Structure 1
């Protein structure tokens, strides 16, 4: 027989088993520690990235404001339109806590800063901090006048269009502007909308450029609406826009109501006959294309915005309200 060794307490010795168990626990603890260290490094990098992005945002907005101050200073001693090239990025010469500020000036009407003292200006502020870059822009103009650009808000032949993937609706319009207006823009659109009794029915309200036939061509800006944004019975709904400015006079745009929902629908109210608006028409279409414009029909709509005019002095230039927006470095 083989003898079994016992410890002093009289039990069998299992030192190998205990060693394996202890080693396993040690490995597990080490893995947990390494995982915790890795997650801590990830959180640190994420925090650093978010910090850099916030600092870059602040620097970019400051870049617009710094440029305004700089332009006013140059106006006192010369013509800034002859100093800077359109669309060229310039360093501001300002460095803050390791970050930097740059700017560029763009004439949105014809790309030429020097050919007119009256045309609006887009000021881009570029903020860089760490690995982050942020860009803000604002439109700078004189002779700014807020106004209702176009509207149809009553009638006797009210009709309804159900908007979903295969049924879109659009309104083409050209605003009636004063003769001395040199540009215009949109700050908001009001439409008569209603939910259709279905949940989660999303619809985009967009502004598009128009082709030669007055049909939607290229998207300028889209604003998503859902059922919480709309009433269950028809009422006016305001949709804000921030990227539609510096449109030349005589240029039309299209308000487009579109959806990719296959069955859930949103109801849009329009006037079905006897509309006599100038430079305006209603279009029906889908993701596949648009029908011909119908001049005797129109959405119930209100377009709010502004126009800018010639005249005044350089000191009359101001930031157009609602024109601030975050953009790209292009």
Structure 2
């Protein structure tokens, strides 16, 4: 089979399309013919080995996983004898970040818990855009952000992969949502349900008088003190993306700020979770969430897809088609 392979950290130029051995499913694994995959921030970490601390999980001197790619959508081709949830022919989508990565290939074998049935109203390309970004948005809003109906929520980076899902998921909970984005993305953010859209090229939300119950930092570079100022007395800030300085402040200063007052500041890292894939499937089939896809690339064009994605200006998701 064809796959994207690399043996050292570096720029997209280290990626190669090679013929590799087609995997065989183990007892609890399913073999999936990949129809589509998608880009996420974790793919950049796998490629570059940055930030350096990530190498303790992904390989200190060289990549631990030869084939990158986490999100996947495809059709089950074979199953191990211990598999109970799926059978050949089933259409599935999933997140391989907890089971060896490897979705930038024509086939992948992974534990059945990495997958869920593909939403019936999505194409393979649309379904492949959901798992990591969608579940990141869900877990950060629900588990870390304690979102509830009627809460005032601000999403900084509302037009990106995580942000577009976060806007829609927050609305599904009955929240009042404000999305922060650039001029060219205002229309997109409004079209997916945001009650308000702030163009950060024209105004700085951290200097405005509005206060929020929950702020999700999916992008941006503001200092933690600015986010704290925008929170209501019992408000919560959750960092899921943005500048390295912003992440460092959230991790180092967040616990102290949270202990010293009623406002909570913290960072969040998504965890692959089959139950949450099923939840996303329900939201999508109910029409409450729909993926936003920016660009599509072929497997051979994955290096170019990395170059575009690393610029940080994608509108929704970047998808890889097989």
Category of TM-score, reference length = shorter chain: under 0.3
Q: TM-score normalised to the size of structure 1?
A: 0.24
Q: TM-score normalised to the size of structure 2?
A: 0.25
**Structure with the largest fraction of helix:** 2
**Structure with the largest fraction of strand:** 1
